[in-house]
């Protein structure tokens, strides 16, 4: 029987260089925006030859696609971080707690705002974001199920993914209008997140025992 080989992890030296490239791209995004990003500017900031950047990333879109994955890793870590079950009693409170964690990342990470909320039109980034959104939706589903007895959820609709993407559209609108996520629009995004989940979750859910 043929075995499929597991994908190779980059060597430690290669991984360190990839991380340096992503860190340089993240810094340039924060300082100058997406228009100033190029393979050469990233190489200069990372203090490595442009050929080394091209070795890992064939183009700026492929670099931004990888950076999108790095941003989503931060979101996954936020969802996986411990939650004190005594801090909430209803699923609405849990929803707001989770959404605040997402907002905290957006407030702190310029790259997250520019890649996920800005209207850049880069299909590679959009597709990567959608793929990672599905992973985040599954994590959210498991997190809610860990704390509450959930009803049977539809199989043909990614409810938690859609709830998250709808709130992101509110934050994106705020970025478009105000160049930031204002407190008013942050609250509106939380309301949208809760409202969509409320189409599938009853007002009250029994909480699981710790």
Read off the pLDDT of residues 30-78 as tens digits, 9 standing for 90 and up: 888 888 789 999 999 999 999 999 999 999 989 999 999 989 999 999 9
Q: Is residue 3 part of a domain?
A: no
Residues 49 and 87 in one domain: no
pLDDT, one tens digit per residue, over 78-114 is 999 999 999 999 999 999 999 999 999 999 999 899 8
Residues 189 and 115 in one domain: yes
CA distances from 59 to 56, 74, 151 (A): 9, 23, 45
Residues 50 and 78 in one domain: no
3-state secondary structure of 148: strand
pLDDT of 210 over the 80 cut = no
| Nearest alpha carbon to residue 122 among 208, 209, 59 | 59
Residues 66 and 50 in one domain: no
Q: Which residue has the tokens 């959104």?
A: 133
Q: Is residue 206 part of a domain?
A: yes
**CATH label of the domain that carries residue 25:** 1.10.10.60
Whole-model pTM?
0.86
CB 53 within 8 A of CB 43: yes
Q: Which neighbouring-strand residues pair with 207?
A: 148
Residues 68 and 51 in one domain: no
Question: What pLDDT score was predicted for residue 3?
Answer: 45
Q: Which residue has the tokens 């809760």?
A: 194
Q: Which domain holds residue 50?
A: 10-58
Residues 52 and 67 in one domain: no
The whole-angstrom separation of Cα 189 and Cα 172 is 10
How many domains are there within the chain? 2
């Amino acid at each position: 029987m043929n075995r499929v080989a597991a994908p190779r992890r980059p060597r430690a030296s290669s991984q360190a260089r990839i991380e340096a490239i992503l860190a340089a791209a993240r810094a340039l995004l924060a300082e100058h925006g997406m228009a100033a990003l190029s393979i050469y500017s990233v190489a200069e900031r990372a203090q490595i030859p442009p050929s080394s950047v091209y070795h890992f990333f064939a183009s700026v879109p492929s670099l931004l696609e990888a950076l999108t994955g790095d941003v989503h890793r931060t979101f996954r870590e936020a969802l996986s971080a411990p939650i004190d079950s005594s801090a909430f009693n209803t699923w609405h409170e849990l929803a707001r707690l989770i959404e605040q964690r997402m907002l905290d990342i957006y407030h702190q990470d310029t790259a997250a705002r520019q890649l996920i909320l800005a209207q850049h039109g880069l299909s590679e980034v959009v597709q990567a974001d959608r793929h990672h959104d599905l992973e985040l939706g599954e994590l959210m589903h498991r997190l809610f199920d860990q704390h509450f007895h959930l009803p049977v959820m539809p199989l043909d609709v990614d409810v938690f993914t859609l709830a998250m993407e709808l709130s992101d559209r509110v934050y994106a609108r705020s970025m478009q209008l105000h160049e930031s996520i204002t407190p008013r629009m942050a609250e509106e995004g939380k309301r949208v997140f809760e409202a969509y989940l409320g189409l599938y979750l009853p007002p009250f859910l029994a909480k699981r025992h710790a």
